């Protein structure tokens, strides 16, 4: 299956600093990647859709100036949490769509990044 | 707003028992995907169903997509401790660039 990686796998930072999380598709190209947030024992909440070469589409209630998304290449999307606060502490997961033209495209998920803001 | 109601949210059973997880919606989905997630890891795709009424089997797991493509179920036969995890259903939204709507998840615990 398609492999998606994330880096770092976990990060601890001080309140007020910015944190960048990378999402890479390792063996395929992805024009579309997605960023999710997950709280303990809860499901995934879609934050935004990242499109290569264009602006990300954010879900309602997600601050685009707070969560900056850059999809600069077909294999890399980054999520930057700016001026992080303790309430931003969460598990952040990315996914990438893969599939041949004319076929159903499937989302494959990265391993997630655990963010703890002190 | 499309919603996908998943039930039960928590399930604790003994090894060898059978169980069924349900996902229901009033909306029609282009596809329905089931994922399994272990703590501290990303979800892993189990199956994708696309056609109304479709049934897929993966060893002891049976997945069904409703005829109207609004609901789905996951049935596990003779559950094992290794089946423990968070099971997530996700519906594909039409004309939304591959966006998925996730159910609330089912936390399954299988005790030996």
pLDDT digits (tens, 9 = 90+) for B65-101: 999 999 999 999 999 999 999 999 999 887 777 889 9
Average pLDDT over residues B103-112: 96
Average pLDDT over residues A52-81: 92
Q: Where is mean pLDDT largest: A32-46, A53-67, A81-95, B85-99?
A: A81-95
Q: Does A83 touch chain B (CB under 8 A)?
A: no
Average pLDDT over residues B55-63: 97
Contact state of B88 with A43 under an 8 Å Cβ cutoff? yes
Average pLDDT over residues A42-65: 91
Contact state of A104 with B99 under an 8 Å Cβ cutoff? no
* DSSP bridge partners of A57: A49
Rounded to whole angstroms, the Cα distance separating A77 from A75 reads 7
Chain A contacts of B45, Cβ < 8 Å? 1, 106-109
Burial class (CB in 10 A: 0-12, 13-18, 19+), A60: exposed
- Give the pLDDT of residue B41: 93
Contact state of B31 with A104 under an 8 Å Cβ cutoff? yes
- Give the pLDDT of residue A100: 59
Q: Where is mean pLDDT largest: A9-18, A105-114, B85-94?
A: A9-18
Percent share of chain A, pLDDT over 70 = 94
Please state, as a whole number, how many other Cβ atoms lie within 10 Å of the Cβ of residue A54. Answer: 9
Query: How would residue B3 be classed by pLDDT, with cut points 50, 70 and 90?
Result: confident
Query: How would residue A99 be classed by pLDDT, with cut points 50, 70 and 90?
Result: low
Q: Does A4 touch chain B (CB under 8 A)?
A: yes
- Give the pLDDT of residue A20: 97
CB contacts < 8 Å between A and B, how many? 59
Contact state of A114 with B40 under an 8 Å Cβ cutoff? yes
Q: Does A53 touch chain B (CB under 8 A)?
A: no
Contact state of A32 with B98 under an 8 Å Cβ cutoff? yes
Q: Which residue of chain A comes nearest to B104, CA vs CA?
A: A43
Query: How would residue B2 be classed by pLDDT, with cut points 50, 70 and 90?
Result: confident
Q: Cα dist. A85→A79, B14, B23, B37 in Å?
A: 15, 42, 35, 27
Contact state of A49 with B99 under an 8 Å Cβ cutoff? yes
Percent share of chain A, pLDDT over 90 = 69
Q: Which two tokens stand for residue A48?
A: 């935004």
Q: Does A49 touch chain B (CB under 8 A)?
A: yes
Q: Which residue of chain A comes nearest to B1, CA vs CA?
A: A60
**Mean residue pLDDT across chain B:** 94
- Give the pLDDT of residue B51: 92
Query: How would residue A102 be classed by pLDDT, with cut points 50, 70 and 90?
Result: low
- Give the pLDDT of residue A83: 96
Check pLDDT > 80 for residue A15.
yes
- Name which of B31, B107, B25 is nearest B65 in CA terms: B31
């Amino acid at each position: 299956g398609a492999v998606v990686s994330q880096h770092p796998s976990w990060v601890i930072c001080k309140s007020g600093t910015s944190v960048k999380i990378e999402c890479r598709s390792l063996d395929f190209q992805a024009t579309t990647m997605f960023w999710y947030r997950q709280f303990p024992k809860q499901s995934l909440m879609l934050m935004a859709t990242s499109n290569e070469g264009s602006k990300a589409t954010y879900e309602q209630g997600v601050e685009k100036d707070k969560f900056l998304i850059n999809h600069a290449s077909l294999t890399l999307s980054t999520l930057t949490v700016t001026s992080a606060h303790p309430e931003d502490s969460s598990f952040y997961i990315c996914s990438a769509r893969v599939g041949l033209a004319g076929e159903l495209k499937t989302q494959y998920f990265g391993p997630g990044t655990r963010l703890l803001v002190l | 707003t499309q919603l996908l109601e998943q039930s039960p949210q928590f399930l604790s059973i003994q090894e060898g028992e059978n169980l069924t997880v349900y996902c229901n919606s009033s909306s029609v989905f282009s596809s329905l995907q089931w994922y399994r997630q272990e703590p501290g890891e990303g979800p892993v795709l189990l199956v994708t169903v696309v056609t109304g009424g479709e049934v897929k089997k993966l060893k002891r797991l049976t997945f069904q997509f409703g005829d109207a493509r609004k609901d789905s179920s996951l049935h596990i036969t003779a559950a094992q401790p290794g089946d423990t995890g968070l099971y997530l259903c996700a519906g594909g939204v039409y004309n939304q660039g591959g966006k998925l709507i996730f159910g609330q998840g089912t936390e399954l615990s299988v005790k030996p």
